[in-house]
A = this chain, B = another copy of it.
Amino acid sequence: MAELQRLAIAPTQLHQEQICLTAEQQHYLSRVLRLRSGDRFIAMNGQGQWWLAELLASPDQSLEAQIIQTLTVDTELPIAITLVVALPKGSGFDEVVRQATELGTSCIAPVISDRTLLHPSPQKLERWRRIAQEAAEQSERQVVPTILEPVPLAPQLQQLLATTPGTPKVVGYLCVTRYDAPHLLNCLQRDLGFGNQQPSLSALSSMVIVTGPEGGWTEAEVEQAIALGYQPVSLGQRILKAVTAPLVALSLVAAVAEATPSPISTTLPG
């Protein structure tokens, strides 16, 4: 399947076994990719479902597509990760969205912290959502991450960690520098049961990872996050740029979740 082109479609484009292609998609498939009637591609609805589809010429010369087969693929992490990032300056967040999508995050929440310099325009949000969709296609994911609207840090941290009784526990990590914090890998090892036959949190369903702005968090922000239940963690001895830290954190989470024959993957929907 690797060589077939992937195309994201909206759920509303699917009627029984037929896919109604938009004018833009028809142009892309026929003019850019030079596909013709009878050629196949992969349709993905951004919610974890993929289909093998075949192009059909309709009588009015437009292109439609028919579903040939439902594909069983799973490139998603066995745990839902929400990445909270204090917005970096310039266009640095574009690259964070792209790479965080590649690394398997489920939700990206840009936040305004005390030292955030950028207050983005509404157009930015649309741009980030487009980047996430493209990156999901390229990295062969089934799920396009949700990008939340940028909001102030504290209420977002509070809401993301809030669970109602009876629902699985959510664990939150706050990445800090210049504090004496345990390494994120050690915390993941403890919380995800890595290298441990009896993981303590087999009911863990999701995780929130928070990375800071240029210049780091203010002391008040760190104290507030700790009070809300976030575990301060280190990403190592060196000072990372604001745009690098999220990728390092996500690389570790994805690797721990995927590298280990973890009980999580058997208790949660994949």
Q: Which residues of A contact B (CB under 8 A)?
A: 2, 74-77, 99, 102-104, 138-141, 178, 183-186, 189, 194-195, 235-241, 244, 247-248, 251-252, 254-256, 258-260
A20 → chain B closest CB, angstroms: 28
7 pairs, CB–CB < 8 Å, chain A vs chain B: A2-B178, A103-B236, A139-B238, A139-B239, A183-B255, A247-B247, A251-B252
Given A102-B244, A103-B248, A239:B138 Cβ within 8 A: yes
Most B C-beta atoms less than 10 A away, residue of A74, A75, A186, A258: A258
Which chain B residue shows the least CB distance to A216?
B2
Closest to A243 in B: B99
Instruction: Determine which of B140, B195, B256 lies in contact with A238 in the assembled complex, contact meaning CB atoms within 8 Å.
Output: B140
A141 to B236, CA, bound (A): 12
Q: Which residues of B contact A140 (CB under 8 A)?
A: 238-239
Tell me the bound Cα distance from A74 to B237 in angstroms: 8
A268, chain B: closest CB distance, angstroms: 15
B252 touches A102 (CB 8 A): no
The interface centre, meaning the residue of A104, A241, A251, A258 with most chain B CB atoms within 10 A of its CB, is A251
- By DSSP majority rule, is chain A's interface helix, strand, loop, or mixed? loop
Which of B2, B139, B183, B241 has a CB less than 8 Å from the CB of A138?
A: B241
List of B residues within 8 angstroms of A241 by Cβ: 99, 102, 138-139
Q: Which 3 A-B pairs have the closest CB atoms?
A: A183-B259, A251-B251, A195-B195
Residues of B within 8 A of A141 (CB): 238
Contact of A247 among B74, B75, B138, B244 (CB under 8 A): B244
What chain B residues lie within 8 Å of A255 (beta carbons)? 183-185, 235-236, 248, 252
**Nearest-neighbor residue (CB-CB) of A78 within chain B:** B237
Please measure, in the bound complex, the distance between the C-alpha atom of A251 and the C-alpha atom of B74, giving whole angstroms: 24
Residue from B77, B238, B247, B259 in contact with A185 in the complex, judged by beta carbons closer than 8 Å: B259
* A104 proximity list for chain B (CB < 8 A): 236-238
Residue pair B237, A75 in contact (C-beta under 8 Å): yes
Nearest CB of chain B from residue A97's CB, rounded to whole Å: 13
- Set of chain B residues within 8 Å of A236, measured between Cβ atoms: 103-104, 254-255, 258
Give CA–CA (A102, B247) in the complex, Å.
Answer: 12
Complex Cα gap A117–B18 (Å)? 39
- Minimum CB–CB distance for A183 against chain B, Å: 4
Q: What residues of B have a CB within 8 angstroms of the CB of A139 in the complex?
A: 238-241
